[in-house]
């Protein structure tokens, strides 16, 4: 038997350790939580993306009584960015959330599986890693790439004749 070990570096920083451009992206993700429509879960998520030209856009989760019909904040932000600026790649992503009491979560939240797959393809289209910031009041997780969120991922390379 062969064993595979996967190591994913994650920096955990408090706000004083974040760069000014990180704070700007983080502030937009936090603001986006207030635009969430979450009447069922009462869990408000905001995501912000920075495009390669420095433009920052955001999205929030949008729920529906028919649960599969809603959309997560991460996909809302990325789809909005791609529909508004199809020729500009996403450079960075930040996610923040408020719990059912309306407080920012202490621990950072991470994207769901569907969002991870969409984000991975967004990164592949960009042709470079997308930096990820996952905000929590007890620290922000900083990752180098979307691939760090989905290390054993399915991508278009499986659909071709390449190894």
Distances (CA, A) of 139 to 18, 85, 142: 10, 31, 9
| 121 annotated active-site | no
**Catalytic one among 28, 63, 74, 131?**
74
Helix (H, G, I), strand (E, B) or coil at 82: helix
- Pick from 76, 160, 57: nearest CA to 118: 76
Q: Which residues contact 77 (CB under 8 A, 6 or more apart)?
A: 32, 47, 48, 49, 57, 58, 59, 93
Q: Which residues of 107-120 are buried (b: 16+ CB within 10 A; e: fewer)?
A: ebbebeeebbbbbb
CA 43 from centre of chain: 16
Q: Which residues are catalytic?
A: 74
């Amino acid at each position: 038997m062969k064993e595979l070990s996967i190591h994913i570096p994650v920096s955990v920083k408090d706000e004083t350790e974040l760069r000014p451009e990180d704070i700007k992206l983080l502030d937009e993700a936090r603001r986006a939580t207030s635009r969430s429509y979450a009447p069922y879960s009462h869990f408000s998520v905001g995501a912000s993306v920075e495009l390669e030209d420095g433009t920052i856009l955001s999205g929030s989760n949008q729920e529906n009584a028919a649960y599969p019909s809603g959309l997560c904040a991460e996909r809302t932000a990325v789809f909005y960015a791609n529909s508004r600026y199809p020729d500009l790649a996403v450079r960075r992503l930040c996610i923040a959330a408020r719990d059912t009491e309306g407080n920012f979560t202490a621990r950072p939240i991470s994207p769901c599986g569907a969002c991870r797959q969409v984000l991975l393809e967004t990164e592949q289209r960009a042709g470079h890693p997308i930096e990820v910031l996952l905000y929590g009041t007890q620290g922000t997780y900083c990752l180098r790439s979307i691939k760090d969120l989905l290390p054993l991922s399915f991508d278009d390379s499986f659909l071709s004749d390449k190894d």
